Amino acid sequence: MLDFLFSNPFLFIAWAIALLVAITVHEFAHAFVADKLGDPTPRLQGRLTLNPLAHLDPIGTLMLLLVRFGWGKPVVFDLYNLKNPKRDSALISLAGPASNLIVASILAVLVRIITSPFSPVYFLVPFLLPVITLNVMLAIFNLIPIHPLDGGKILVGLLPDEDAEKVDLFLRQSGLILLMFLILPLINGRPAVYYLINPVINTILSILLPGQSLV
C-alpha cells in the first residue's frame, strides 16, 4: 500500500479507508459477540465501538501497509465470564473473519448494482473495491490456525477437550514463532503467508468480483 502514496495518492487514500473499515469491523465483531455471550470486558475497555482509533494495532497496521497482511488490536475477553469457554471463545474469534466476509459480500453485490458508468454513484466503485479486497484478505489471514490469530482459537474450539488442551498449549508456545516465520519476506521478497493464502483470497475475490484483478 505504501507504494501508492507517491505513485497514486488517490489509490493510497482508498486503501487507507479500506484498512480502517476492515480492521474496525473485524475487532468490533469480536467485542460485540463477547458482550452478547456474557463478557463485559470489551465494553468496559471501550472496544464496543465503531471508532477505528479504538481498534488499530501499530504493528498490525504497519504490516497491512507494507504487505497487506496484518491485524488490529486484539480484543481481550475473560474466559471466566463465558458459560462455555472453549465454544464461546471460538465463536468470538470466528466473529471477526465472518464479519469481514459478510461486509465484502454485501459490498460486492452493491458494486455489481452500480457498476454501470451511467450510475449516479459509479464514482464509489474505486473506493469499494479496496474495501472488499482488504476485508477478504484480513478474514483469510486471521483464519490461519495458529495463535494469536483467530484461527488458533477456532481450531481449539473445534477439537475434543483432550486434544484441544494439547493443541492450545502447543500454539501458545510456538504460535508467535510460526507467525513471524509466515510474515517475514523470505521467499522472493514476499512473506511465506502470501503463497499460503493468496490462492484462497483470489478464489473468493473471483467469486465476489468476477473479472477483477485486485491482489
Q: Which helix (H) or strand (E) holds 104?
A: helix 85-114
Measured between alpha carbons, how far is 15 from 102 in angstroms, rounded to an integer? Answer: 19
User: Packing angle between helix 85-114 and helix 125-142, nearest 10 degrees?
Assistant: 160
- Catalytic residue at 27? yes
Please choose, from the candidates 72, 206, 48, the residue with its C-alpha nearest in 3D space to the C-alpha of residue 132: 206
Place of cell 509466515: 182
DSSP one-letter string for 112-175: HHH-STTSTTGGGHHHHHHHHHHHHHHHHHHTSSSTTSHHHHHHHHHS-HHHHHHHHHHHHHHH
Catalytic residue among 15, 22, 25, 27: 27
- The rounded distance, in Å, linking the Cα atoms of 1 and 211 is 22
Write out the catalytic residue numbers.
27
